[in-house]
Amino acid sequence: MGLTCRQKILIAVLCFTISIIGFMMRLPSVFRHMDKELHALFYFMAAAFLNFLFAKTNMIKHVVIFIALYLFGVAIEYAQGYSNKFFRKRIHGRFDPEDIQSNLNGLIAFSALWLICTVGILVYKRATVKNKELQ
């Protein structure tokens, strides 16, 4: 028995709410030297999570997830910059275009892996169907 669409959406909303809170907080000093790598890793993992949850091997859903995550990353960067003005004290860093580029790098890396796996799955399914037809 799989998850219903409503359950999947609820899980995704819960995870992204936690992500927003996490992105709005200041990164501990231990991790500041690898900020860009953490951005790329987060977006790689977020893309993997959402694609396994919703897209499977559907290219259109994959593209929608890619675009949504990219826009989410841009929005978070603007929100971080705005939050410093809104609260009139520095609660986070600044808007950083390099973070957006790192987010995009993580999305592209996952998309390349997803594409290879999806093509492999589709080729395997076609080969299986042909073998059954020949028997």
pLDDT digits (tens, 9 = 90+) for 1-11: 588 999 999 99
Hey, is 97 helix, strand or coil?
A: helix
The pTM score is: 0.84
In single-letter form, the type of residue at position 18 comes to I
Interval 40-56: pLDDT, tens: 999 999 999 999 999 98
| Helical axes 35-50 vs 5-24, angle rounded to 10° | 170
Per-residue pLDDT in tens (0 to 9) along the chain, 135 residues? 588 999 999 999 999 899 878 776 777 778 778 889 999 999 999 999 999 999 988 999 999 999 999 999 999 888 877 876 766 666 666 778 999 999 999 999 999 999 999 999 999 999 888 888 877
Q: Residue 95 burial (CB < 10 Å; 0-12/13-18/19+)?
A: middle
Q: Are 131 and 66 in contact (CB under 8 A)?
A: no
CA 41, 43, 103, 16 torsion-angle sign: negative
- Domains of the chain, by residue range, sit at 5-134
Extract the tokens encoding 79.
């929100």
